[in-house]
Chains A and B, each alone.
Chain A
Amino acid sequence: MDIDDLLQEFEDKSVPAGTRDINDLTQAWIAERTAPEILPYQNDLLERLMERIRAQIELVETQTGDLDPKTNFSLILIQTELERVKFLVRSYLRARIHKIDKHAIHILTTPTTRGNLSAPELSYLKSHLAILNSHYLSSFLRNFPEQLRRLDDKAGGISMVEEPDLDGAVFCKVVRDVEDRTVKILGTDAEFELKKGDIYVVRYSAVREFVLNGEVELI
C-alpha cells in the first residue's frame, strides 16, 4: 500500500452517494459508447437517478416564482446540472437503442445478451423486429419462393444475422488489481499483464470478462 492507495481510499469515502451515482452513470455511458456489444442495463442506478431528476424538477417548479436573486441563482445552477444529467441519460439510452437496432436478431437469439436489456428495451426490440419483418414481407418478400423468405438465413456461407465485432479495438484502463493478471489474446500468442493504472488498446474480447466485472474500465 502506498500513498496513492491511501488517497484512493480517502476519495472513495469522501464522495457522497449522489456524486458517485453520477460518476457511475458517466462511466456506464462511456463504456456503452465504446464497447462493441450491448452491456448490462444499469437498472438500479438509473432508477435512483431518475428519482433524483424528478425531485429536482419539482424543486425547480416550486421555486420558480421566487424572485429572491439568491434562489434564482441556485436555480440556474440546479437547472444546468439537471440538463447535463438528462443529456447523459439520454445519450446512454440512445447508444443502447442504436446497438439494439443494429444487432437485433443476434441479441434476441442469444440468451446472455438478451438478459442485458431492460424490459422496455426488450419489448421495443421485439416490436421493432416485427414491424420491420412485416415491412419487408409486404414490400417484396411475399412474392419470393417460400425457402427464400427467411431473414436469419445462414446458407451460402454468409449469415444474415449481424453480430457485434467482439474483436474490435477498445481503449481501457485497469482500475482494480486483478488476481490472475496475465491475459492471453485469443488467436494470437500475444500476452499482456493487467496492472492497476495501466492503459491499453486491445481487442474487446481479450478484456471482456474484466470489463463486465468492473476490474477494467473502458475509456
Chain B
Amino acid sequence: MAMVDSAKIAAAKDRLDQHTVETIHWHFSPETGSPFWLEKAKTFNFDPLKEVKSFEDLKKFPHFEDDWLRGGPISRWVPKGLAGKPVYVFETGGTTGLPKSRMVIEDHWIDYEEFSKTLDDKWFPPGSNWLMLGPSGPRRLRLAIEHLAQYRGGICFCIDLDPRWVVKLLKQGRIKEAEDYKNHCIDQVLTILKGGHDIKCAFMTPKLLEALALKLIDNGSSIAEEGITGIFGGGTEFSPQWYRYCCEELLGPDVFMTPTYGNTLMGLACSKPFDPADNYKITYHAPQPRAAIEVVDFKDYNKVVDYGQTGRVKLYTMTKELFVPGFMERDEGERELPCDKFPWDGISGTRPFHEIAKSTTVGVY
C-alpha cells in the first residue's frame, strides 16, 4: 500500500461514498426510482433515502437475490427517471430454465467508453478495426465490443457463437460436437481475417484465443502475423499460468493482451497494468464508482477479508440504470491492495466459487 498515495485512496473512497448517496436518491425517490426498488423498499426496516450516507451503509440492504432478475416484467427495472428511452435486455445463463435478465439503456456504452480510456493506443490504435470473438445472441458483450470499436473510430467484425448450445453439448458428453462447434467459430474468424479488413484489435475469450492461435500456427501464420496488436481478453477465468503461456507462446512480444473480469451486472473490471514483478498474477479492479467489488468471508458475507486472504466476490452496481447492493457472485479470489491506477481494492486469482464449481459448467467458450 505504501506505493499508492493515501490521499488518492481517500479521494476514491469519498467519491464512492458520494456516488452511493446519489445513486440511492435516484433509485429510491418516487419520481426517478424503478418500480422494483420502490416496491422492495416497503419491506425494508430502514429508509434508504435517510439512512444511507456512505458505501458502508449499503450493508443495511438484504443480499440481492439471483431470482429477482429472472422473469418479468423486465419493465419493473426501468427507473422512472429514464422512462421512454429505448431499452435493451441482456441475458446471462439460460441453458436450462429462465435466464437472468438485465435491462440496459446506455450503461454498456458508458462502461466500455470508460474502459476505452484504459487501453494503450500503441497496442489498440484509434481508428483500427476490431474482431469480436465471443458469444453473440442476447448478450451484452457483442454490442458492447461493437460500441467500443466504434467509440475508438473503428468497425467491429463479429461471429455467431451460441454458448448455450456448447453447454448443452458438454453436459451431454458430446465432446466431439463441442469441438466441431469451436472449429466452426474459428473458421468464421479465419474468413474474416482473410477479408483484408485491416483488423488490429480484438476481443477474445481465452479458449477461443488459444484455438485461433493454434489454428493459425497450423496454417503457417500467427496472431501477430495476421496484424493483430491488441487483445482485450475476457469472458472466462484466466489463470496466471495460462496468462504466461499466452504471452510467451501464443502471442509473442508484438501482441499485447489485457485480461478483464466482467459480467452483465457489473460492467468491466480492468486488470492492474502488467508488471513482471507480479509474476503473471492478474489483479482486477472494479470500475468504481459505477460498480464496486468486495472480497468477503465465506461464512459472513458482510465481512471483508484481510488483504491476501480468500473470499467470495460481492458485487455492487450503482448506475442510474441499475442498483445492485451486494450480489454474491459465483466467483472467489484473493483481496488485493489498491494500485496507483486504481486506488481502491482489487481481487486476484478469480475462479469459480468452490462450493458451486463442481456443479457448474464454466468457461465453455
Q: Is this pair of chains taken from one and the same complex? A: no
Give chain B's interface residues, CB within 8 Å of chain A. Answer: none
Give chain A's interface residues, CB within 8 Å of chain B. Answer: none
